[in-house]
Each structure stands twice: as C-alpha cells, then as structure tokens.
Amino acid sequence: MRIILLGPPGSGKGTQAQLLVQRYGIVQLSTGEMLRAAVAAGTPVGLKAKEIMASGGLVPDDVVVGIISDRIDQPDAKNGFILDGFPRTVPQAEALDELLKHKHLKLDAVIELRVNESALLNRVETRVAQMRERGEEVRLDDTPEVLTKRLASYRNQTEPLIHYYSERRKLSTIDGMMAIDEVTRAIHRQLLALGAVEPKTHGKTRARSAAKAAPARKAKTAKKSAKTPVKAAKKAAKSKKAAKKATKAGKRIVKKAAKKVGKKKAAKKTARKAVKKGAKKAAKKVTKRRAKR
C-alpha cells in the first residue's frame, strides 16, 4: 500500500501516519528525515544534498526524488509506505508519478485531512497561553504567527495538489476536525473502498470462530470417544440381560412343556391301570359265575 497524506500544519498528518504504520506494517517516509539519513549514510544523492544545504540552498526536486527512490528500494518499504511532506508542489507530484511508473509501482490513495484554519489557530493560541501560564518555554515554530505563515504557504504551494490528484481519481477527503480515532476509522474505510487494503475482518472473524470452536469440537470428540466404550458396555449388558431373559423364558417353556408331558404320561399310566384293574374285576366276575354253575 502506497499512500500520500495531505493537509495543512496541525491537521494531524503525523499522528495518523504513525497509526497507519502500526496498523498496516508499512513505513512512514518523511523528506526531512530521509535527507538527514542520506547525508549521514554518505550516499551519492546524500552527498549532493549535503553540498547544496551547506551552501544555504534549497535541495532541488530531482535530488529529493532520488533520495525517495533509494529509500523505497529498501526491504522495510516492501509492504508499502506513507509519504508525509512530499510532494508539496505539482511538479514534485509529476516527478513522483514518473518514479513510481519507472519502478512499476502505483499510488493507491491520496488522503486529504481537511480542517478549519480558524479552529487550528484557536487551538494554537489556547495551547501557547496555557504553556505560558505554566511557565513553560514556547517553541518558536509553535505560535499563531508562525502557523498563519505556514497555512498561507500551504494554500499557495500544496492546495493545487488537491485538484491534481482529484483529476486522477486518487483523492479522498476526510474531516480532520473529528476525534483522532474517528479520523483513523474514516481513513481505513476509505482505503477499503479503494481496494488499497484487503478486508481481512471476516477472515479474522472466521479464524477466531474456528479457534473458539476447535476446543469445543475437541471436547465433543473426546466426550464421544469416552461415551463409545460406555455405550458398548451398556449394549453388552443389555444383550446379556436379554439373553438371560430369553434363557429364563426358555426354561419356563421347557418346564411347562415337561409338566404337560408328565401330566399326559401320568394320565396314560392311570388309564392303563384303570383298564387293567377293570379287566381283573371283569375276569373275577366271570370266574365267579362259572363256579356257581
């Protein structure tokens, strides 16, 4: 993600740049810091800038663009960067476009923090008055007079960039007078709308849900696994009980059948005895009759 923050002094660009750096893992590129770092490192561009600054001159755009070119080639700028304080003029913006085109990179967004200048001046006046009441030293560049000059310089030099980037459909305007966290959220929404960042919220939600569900699934599986032998034991017990019942029922049936058979046998035996007894009686009667004759 490669973005530019635009806004007058006191609009909160520095604060928002730091928050964006932390959130998206990109680097903040400040021209002042880059110039000092290039000079300290003794790079060819840095040495050229050092010579110009030593003579009291302003570092030309081509030198500044060269420093930016070297800086965005460094590994920590691979994920993207925020340009703070550059470009300040339309020619600088055109030079930056050429640089990015040459490196096959694109500018994702230009965020303008629009503020009320009168409100900014009132803030500075209030802050300075409070510092003086506490006996604190007031910075020379942090007075209403200096801010008025810087705001005039911004209007003359930098405001044309708003039109430049608006024509190229890169500009997004945010109300910089909102609370810091509200401005941050508005910038994030705008970057999402432009496709500069991926909507990872749902993926994170799903990941969090999956992470929460995983222990539950494991517990459920463990519970199920624990239940399996219990179920098997219960099933075996039921089968054993059923077999026992069936055995008892079988025994009852056999016993009942045996009783019936026994009764039948007894009846037959009784019948045979009766028949035999009756035959004996009949024979005796016949013998008696014959004897009388």
* pLDDT (mean) for 82-92: 89
Range scoring the smallest mean pLDDT among 9-13, 93-97, 245-249: 245-249
Residue 30 pLDDT grade (very low, low, confident, very high; cuts 50, 70, 90): confident
Tens of pLDDT, residues 207-265? 444 455 555 555 555 555 555 555 555 665 565 666 566 566 656 765 776 676 566 66
Provide the sign of the torsion angle of the four alpha carbons 69, 74, 79, 80, taken in this order.
Answer: negative
Q: Which residue in the list 36, 114, 123, 127 is annotated as catalytic? A: 127
CA 186 to chain centre: 19
Over the Cα atoms of the chain, what is R_g?
51
CA 268 to chain centre: 93
Q: Does residue 181 carry a pLDDT above 50?
A: yes
For the chain, report the end-to-end CA distance as a whole number of angstroms. Answer: 148
Q: Are 14 and 79 in contact (CB under 8 A)?
A: no
pLDDT of residue 206: 43
Find where tokens 């060819």 sit. Answer: 44
Q: Which residue in the list 2, 13, 50, 170 is annotated as catalytic? A: 13
114 strand-pairing partners: 175
Between the alpha carbon of residue 189 and those of residues 24, 114, 178, 201, the distances in Å are 14, 17, 15, 12
With vertex at residue 186, the alpha carbon angle to CA 93 and CA 32, rounded to the nearest 5 degrees, is 35
Task: Quote the CA–CA distance of 66 and 96 in Å, as a whole number.
Answer: 10
Q: State which fold the 2-26+79-199 domain adopts.
A: Rossmann fold (3.40.50)
Q: Which residue in the list 36, 114, 123, 150 is annotated as catalytic? A: 150
φ and ψ at residue 275, rounded to 5 degrees: -60, -45
Q: Which residue in the list 101, 139, 189, 273 is annotated as catalytic? A: 139
Model-wide pTM > 0.85: no
Neighbours of 107 (CB within 10 A): 19
Residues in the chain: 293
Task: Quote the CA–CA distance of 293 and 281 in Å, as a whole number.
Answer: 19
In the chain, where the domains are located: 2-26+79-199
Q: Does residue 196 carry a pLDDT above 50?
A: yes
Tens of pLDDT, residues 130-142? 888 888 887 776 7
Tell me if residue 88 is catalytic.
yes
* C-alpha closest to that of 117 among 82, 170, 153: 153
Amino acid identity for residue 65 in this structure: V
The SS3 assignment for 47 reads helix
φ and ψ at residue 28, rounded to 5 degrees: -95, 125
Tell me if residue 235 is catalytic.
no
Tell me if residue 150 is catalytic.
yes
